[in-house]
């Protein structure tokens, strides 16, 4: 087990579907005089011929994610693809390091702007859009409609054999460390209040949801989940969802609640400390 920077055992990595692994570790956020935890997760999808990494985690998590990757990839199909849902740092902050350590890997998705930071890797950046697929051997990774998007460049991913959706900032919510939620899937975290924790993200990272009729987005979410027959949801910030029928209604309630209530403030100033905390969600 890789030691956590939070000085406690890290429950990740965890297999959330066959050969689909949840990587990273918790991030503390202080809000409303409470300590919330969230993830800036990455996910590893291992195929028969190639493996694919979804997101790279927050820059502070990269040393942990790198060790998790090394252990999980030992003797398995090499890492040939990196898909990032969008350019924000908690999602893409390890991009240069992944491409440097895995010289076979190609960056896929909407690859706008990455060449400005990493011109040396431009030949390894491949544009993809909705409907484009990557064959990993025995399983396929498909780009799908990004219903909840943080940036115009956002795409969501979908693994077609075990039907795992990777929605980036969709399904964004915190969890309660004190309740033992760390490393659990949403259905195991019995005291998780999805209204409260989704509203935290509406304030901090998805502010446009305050001004939109989120019912429209909930309807689109239903359509997408039905069309793809999603079995598992692997969100970057929330806990993974393994019972979509039971949990999706609660997530939709959270989105509607987050857009309905007034802003509850940014990260608490009284807890402010010199760290990337205030930029750590998004």
The least distance separating Zn ion from the CB of residue 128, rounded to whole angstroms, comes to 19
Instruction: Please say which residue, 81 or 201, places its beta carbon nearer to Zn ion.
Output: 201
Is 27 in a helix, a strand, or coil?
A: strand
* Among 104, 83, 79, residue whose Cα is nearest residue 95: 83
Residues that bind Zn ion (CB under 5 A): 26, 37, 169, 177, 182, 282
> At closest approach, how far in Å is the CB of 205 from Zn ion?
6
Q: Which is nearer to Zn ion, 26 or 77 (CB)?
A: 26
Nearest to 24 by CA among 199, 251, 240: 240
* Residue (258 or 282) nearer to Zn ion, CB: 282
Which residue lies nearer to Zn ion by CB, 37 or 139? Answer: 37
- Residue 224 vs 239, nearer CB to Zn ion: 239
Q: How far is the CB of 117 from Zn ion (least distance, A)?
A: 18
Q: Is 231 helix (H, G, I), strand (E, B) or coil?
A: coil
Taking residue 88's Cβ as centre, other Cβ atoms within 10 Å add up to: 22
Measured from the CB atom, the residue of 124 and 177 that comes closer to Zn ion is 177
Q: List the Cα angle 97/103/107 in 5-degree steps.
A: 70
Q: Kindly state the smallest distance separating residue 139's Cβ from Zn ion, in Å.
A: 25
Minimum distance of Zn ion from residue 271's CB (angstroms): 17
CA angle 233, 237, 240 (to 5 degrees): 30
For 153-222, give the DSSP string: T--EEEETTTTEEE-TTTT---B-GGGT-TT--TTT-TT--HHHHHHHHHHHT-GGGGSS-HHHHHHHHH
Beta carbon of residue 100, minimum distance to Zn ion (angstroms, whole number): 23
Q: Work out how close the CB of 48 gets to Zn ion at its nearest, in angstroms, rounded to a whole number.
A: 31
Pick the closer one to Zn ion by CB: 24 or 282.
282
Report the number of secondary-structure helices (H) and strands (E) in the chain: 7, 14
Q: What are phi and psi of 26, to 5 degrees?
A: -70, 155
Q: Which helix (H) or strand (E) holds 81?
A: strand 79-83
- In which residue are the tokens 């992944």 written? 98
């Amino acid at each position: 087990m890789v030691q956590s920077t939070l000085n406690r055992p890290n429950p990740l990595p965890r297999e959330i579907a066959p050969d689909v692994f949840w990587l990273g570790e918790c991030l503390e956020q202080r809000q409303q005089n409470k300590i919330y935890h969230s993830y800036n997760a990455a996910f590893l999808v291992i195929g028969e011929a190639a493996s694919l990494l979804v997101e790279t985690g927050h820059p502070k998590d990269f040393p942990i994610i790198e060790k998790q990757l090394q252990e999980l990839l030992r003797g398995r199909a090499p890492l040939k693809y990196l898909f990032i849902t969008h350019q924000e740092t908690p999602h893409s902050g390890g991009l240069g390091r992944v491409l440097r350590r895995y010289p076979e890997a190609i960056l896929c998705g909407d690859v706008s702007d990455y060449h400005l930071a990493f011109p040396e890797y431009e030949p390894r950046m491949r544009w993809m859009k909705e409907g484009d697929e990557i064959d990993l051997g025995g399983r396929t990774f498909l780009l799908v409609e990004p219903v909840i998007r943080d940036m115009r460049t956002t795409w969501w991913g979908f693994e077609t054999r075990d039907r795992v959706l990777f929605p980036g900032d969709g399904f964004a919510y915190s969890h309660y460390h004190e309740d033992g939620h760390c490393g659990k899937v949403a259905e195991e975290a019995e005291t998780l209040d999805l209204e409260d924790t989704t509203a935290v993200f509406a304030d901090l990272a998805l502010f446009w949801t305050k001004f939109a009729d989120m019912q429209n987005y909930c309807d689109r979410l239903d359509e997408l989940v039905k069309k793809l027959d999603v079995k598992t949801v692997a969100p970057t910030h929330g806990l993974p969802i393994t019972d979509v029928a039971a949990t999706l209604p609660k997530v939709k309630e959270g989105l509607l609640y987050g857009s309905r209530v007034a802003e509850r403030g940014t990260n608490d100033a009284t807890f402010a400390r010199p760290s990337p905390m205030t930029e750590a969600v998004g």
